[in-house]
Amino acid sequence: MQASTWRWLALVAALLALTRPVATQEQAYNIGSHDVLAVSVFNQPQLTGSFEVGSDGAVAFPLVGRVKAAGLTLREFEASLVKALSENILRRPEVSVTVETYRSQQFFVIGEVRQPGAYVLSGRETVVQAIARAGYTTPEAGDDVLVVRPGQTANTRGPLQPDQVDAKDVLRVNLADLTSGASPDTPVVQHGDTIIVGRAEQVFILGQVKTPGAYRLTRGLTVVQLISMAGGLTDRGTQRRMKVTRMVNGRKQESKISLNDPVLANDTITVAERWF
């Protein structure tokens, strides 16, 4: 099975493991302007229906007037409605609130994903789940993912690039660690976040291997593993006298390399031909 297929399966497995029930996601969701809320008051059909949060962050609710909603969780807004209705209107009202339409919050996923673009934030969502919504990663994707987080007053109508914000606003995560469970802290997406999936770095192998060319650099890759990825040695290939061409301080340097040595980004490994 190809490495890209394994990578896709790992991402799917991680998504399933991290997915939470919708109710739990909604409880953690902060209501925003223009969200549409479904409000149900037990035994009060005239008070049950859909209500849009206005630009001022409040909901116009029958009998009680405008009630602040933006910035509150659904349970907090329920409590506000219960309090307002309890004041000389209803005795012990039972109120339930859910989000009917999410409109207020969004995030962006760009880079090496199959469906880059803007997505509506609909509750508690992790970086892995956000990437999954963008169609998962492309075969060219690397493990490094940047989460660019705007400041309080930043414009969140379009994706941000790392050079548009302070370094403290950029969170770097490793996708392989997140999908394998090696990283216990999975970042949660916030309104206005831009998730950037970078392209994988490459290494090159030439000479006496069956399939010379460029290959995706994976963590801990060694020379022997790279040779295996390239189909192994040809009949004329030898494990001796292998060389690596590597950039050191901006200059190309050539040196000997052994089977168990690590391969670095942009290395070129040359496998020699045996003499007899």
User: What is d(CA 203, CA 226) in angstroms, rounded to the nearest whole number?
Assistant: 9
pLDDT above 90 covers a percentage of the chain that reads 62
Predicted confidence (pLDDT) per residue in 218-258, tens digit: 889 999 999 999 999 999 999 999 999 999 998 999 999 99
User: What is d(CA 98, CA 92) in angstroms, rounded to the nearest whole number?
Assistant: 20
Return residue ranges of the chain for CATH 3.10.560.10. Answer: 105-199, 202-271
Predicted confidence (pLDDT) per residue in 31-74, tens digit: 999 999 999 999 999 999 999 999 999 999 999 999 999 999 99
Predicted confidence (pLDDT) per residue in 7-38, tens digit: 554 554 444 444 444 445 566 688 999 999 99
pLDDT of residue 18: 42
Question: Options 3.30.310.80, 3.10.580.10, 3.10.560.10, 1.10.240.10; which CATH number does 105-199 get?
Answer: 3.10.560.10
Cβ neighbours, 10 Å, residue 261: 16
pLDDT of residue 102: 87
**3-state class of 36 per DSSP?**
strand
Contacts of 122 (CB under 8 A, 6+ apart): 25, 29, 99, 102
Identify the CA nearest to 227 among candidates 202, 243, 205: 205
Predicted confidence (pLDDT) per residue in 99-130, tens digit: 999 888 899 999 999 999 999 887 788 999 99
pLDDT of residue 70: 94
- What pairs with residue 68 in β-bridges? 58
| Confidence (pTM) | 0.65
Identify the CA nearest to 129 among candidates 24, 263, 231: 24
**3-state class of 177 per DSSP?**
helix
The secondary element (H helix, E strand) that includes residue 256 is strand 251-256
Return residue ranges of the chain for CATH 3.30.1950.10. Answer: 31-101
Contacts of 158 (CB under 8 A, 6+ apart): 108
Side by side, the strands of the sheet bearing 117-120 are: 117-120, 106-111, 194-199, 141-148, 170-174
Q: Which CATH class is domain 31-101?
A: alpha beta
Write b or e for each residue in 8-17: b if 16 or more Cβ atoms lie within 10 A of its Cβ, otherwise e.
eebbeebbee
Fold of 202-271: Outer membrane lipoprotein wza fold like (3.10.560)
